[in-house]
Amino acid sequence: MRKVIIGFVAAAALALATTAGAALVPGVFDPGSTHCVTSSFSGGVLHLAKNCPTTTNASAGADITGLSGQTFESASFTLASAAQCGGGSPRFNIVTSVMTFFLGCNNVIPTTNTDGTVTYTFTAATLAADGSQVPPPTGTISSAEILIDVQGTADVSNITVNGQSETPLPARAAAFAACKKGGWKTFTNPSFKNQGKCVSYMAHHQNQIKHSLKHTAKPKHQHG
């Protein structure tokens, strides 16, 4: 059964990456098994925490799927308070055909909302308005993520890239998406004769799928 779940996760990640709509895939980067980083999504908020020194090689975040091949236009996120911005974290890591671009909360002038939350918007104009500390991403996007890698917590909401709101797909929707657009052909353990067989299998394995999606996608975070 475990091999079946692993096979699903790999194919699901591929299928989700090629779907038209983007989505968040929460996860952690913890090569030293410190267990000091956590990433979860609830109530429209991505909850990130690093409960260990900033120097520890670990981070918490979420991959952003569905952006491959696009060019960067804009991105934004909202924090529960300005105090959650520290050391350029949280930030977007936008990997393009040119290089990896780091867009941190300290690279733009934030907007304080009436409820006390703070929004950070990244465009060529807003990056320039804060002194062009970092350049706007150029080239075509190959991958993207949002993360924290400094000690502390961040409650991140209203995450957008290129005008697209980013939230996790429900487990059932993610499973079915993995079967569509030829995704069923990528499975090897188990394999399926057609899309319908794949969808039927996913429908009967929701508990395993939900658990697998919760623990998949370990973002390869990079330090800026």
* C-alpha span between 101 and 218 (Å, rounded): 19
Per-residue confidence (pLDDT) for residue 212, from 0 to 100: 45
* 156-176 tens-digit pLDDT: 999 999 999 998 866 566 667
User: pTM (2 decimals)?
Assistant: 0.72
Cα first-last separation, the chain: 39
pLDDT of 20 higher than 60: no
How far is Cα of residue 177 from the mean position of the Cα atoms in its chain?
Answer: 17
What is the identity of the amino acid at 84? Q
- Mention the CATH class of domain 2-214: mainly beta
**pLDDT at residue 57 tops 70:** yes
In sequence order, which residues have a C-beta less than 8 Å from that of residue 204 and are 6 or more positions away? none
